Amino acid sequence: MIKTILATVDAQMPQKQIIEQAGQILKQGGLVAFPTETVYGLGANGLDADACKKIYQAKGRPSDNPLILHIAKKQSLYEIVKQVPQKAEKLIDAFWPGPLTMIFQKKDCVPYEITGGFDTVAVRFPAHAVAQNVIEAAGVPIAAPSANVSGKPSPTRASHVLFDLNGKIDMILDGGSTQVGLESTIIDVSEQIPVLLRPGAVTKEMIEEVIGKIEIDPAILSQSDENCLPKAPGMKYTHYAPKANVILVQGQDLAAVQKRIKELVKEDLRLGKEVGILATDQTKSAYGDGIVLSLGNRENPQEMGANLFKHLRKFDFLGIEVVYSETVAETGEGMAIMNRLKKAAGYQIIQVV
Ligand code: AMP
Ligand code: MG
């Protein structure tokens, strides 16, 4: 057990003294969790293999799952990657700083320990003042996977980090709730045709508007985890999963979906189970039994994405055993929401016709 320092920090104008302390800890090879616009990250000096080893230990993360390096100015990219293809330059101009991670050929200074043995490295320039100031204070690229225990829903508040990692890391900077609430979009630009490896708030449609047609890793669209190994190693693990058994209920007719969920809930309650429902503002009042949490307005996928992990954690907190969830269309940010939901559900989907 180590003593974890918890410091509240202003999300827009982070206090210098706290940032300096975080920078010192990182320089000395320690671990600091901090907010980004996507989720909370668990930071370590990304060029120090020993420091990064501590990330894997604290999270219980499999060592073949590479880390994303976070930078706070564009120029830092050229110090860690061999080349920046023209399409990547365009994406940088359009979306950095922001929730977009890109995969490049790595330079020798990037240790294989953080790339899972690959010759490529994932890089992101986050759009959050706390994240940017911490990276600058450390003076090195910061490896920062989500600051949760591996397999659990990613943390969108400091309390989630504290719950998972108290006593295992040096410091947590509490900058309030994260805005996006889903992990960054990942696109591999190291090959001729860019490939989307993980959907996020920077959507396929937004990317294609800037660089034209891209490919999607088939694993993202797959309806099962089998026979389809994702190109981003981290995407193959059970993820985002609360303790509850999550089941998605999908269909064109929302009223029919609600009716089926109500029947399923009734039956589970009869069996004495604690049941939760993941609904939306438009549908939540239709459910009488079970614990109902709304992701937000169906017309506002940003709001739904921001609430997803918080609600999955809340079901755990409430001791819920089964969660029935509505689904959304897999376009725009809906692709990212459905990707996380399907993984949380282990691809258990009931089709309502
Ligand atoms: P996290 O930081 O926890 O959001 O996870 C990082 C994600 O990026 C994981 O799914 C990794 O597998 C993926 N990733 C990182 N580096 C690479 C790489 N060089 N090639 C492919 N995927 C990567
Ligand atoms: Mg993660």
In angstroms, what is the span from residue 118 Cα to ligand 1's centroid? 11
Report d(CA 321, CA 331) in Å as an integer.
30
Report, as ranges of residue numbers, the positions in the chain whose pLDDT lies below 70.
223-229, 234-240
What is the number of the ligand closest to the CA of 112?
A: 1
User: Which pLDDT value is given to residue 192?
Assistant: 86
User: Which pLDDT value is given to residue 239?
Assistant: 63
**C-alpha dihedral sign at 174, 103, 29, 113:** positive
User: Which pLDDT value is given to residue 222?
Assistant: 73
Q: Quote the mean pLDDT of the chain.
A: 95
What is the per-residue pLDDT across 236-274, written as a single tens digit (0 to 9) for each? 656 667 889 999 999 999 999 999 999 999 999 999 999
User: Which pLDDT value is given to residue 16?
Assistant: 98
User: Which pLDDT value is given to residue 232?
Assistant: 75
User: Which pLDDT value is given to residue 21?
Assistant: 98
Give Cα 173 distance to the centre of its chain.
Answer: 18
In angstroms, what is the span from residue 157 Cα to ligand 1's centroid? 21
Tokens 């089709």: give the residue.
351
User: Which pLDDT value is given to residue 194?
Assistant: 96
41 within 8 A of 137, measured Cβ to Cβ:
no
Of ligand 1's listed atoms, the one at least distance from the Cα of 231 is 21
313 within 8 A of 159, measured Cβ to Cβ:
no
User: Which pLDDT value is given to residue 27?
Assistant: 98
Strand, helix or coil at 184?
coil
The encoded tokens of residue 66 equal: 């590479």
What is the per-residue pLDDT across 126-149, written as a single tens digit (0 to 9) for each? 999 999 999 999 999 999 999 999
User: Which pLDDT value is given to residue 317?
Assistant: 93
| Residue among 56, 186, 229, 339 to mutate when testing ligand 1 (max atoms within 8 A of CB) | 186
User: Which pLDDT value is given to residue 238?
Assistant: 60
What is the per-residue pLDDT across 66-87, written as a single tens digit (0 to 9) for each? 999 999 999 999 999 999 999 9
In angstroms, what is the span from residue 151 Cα to ligand 2's centroid? 8
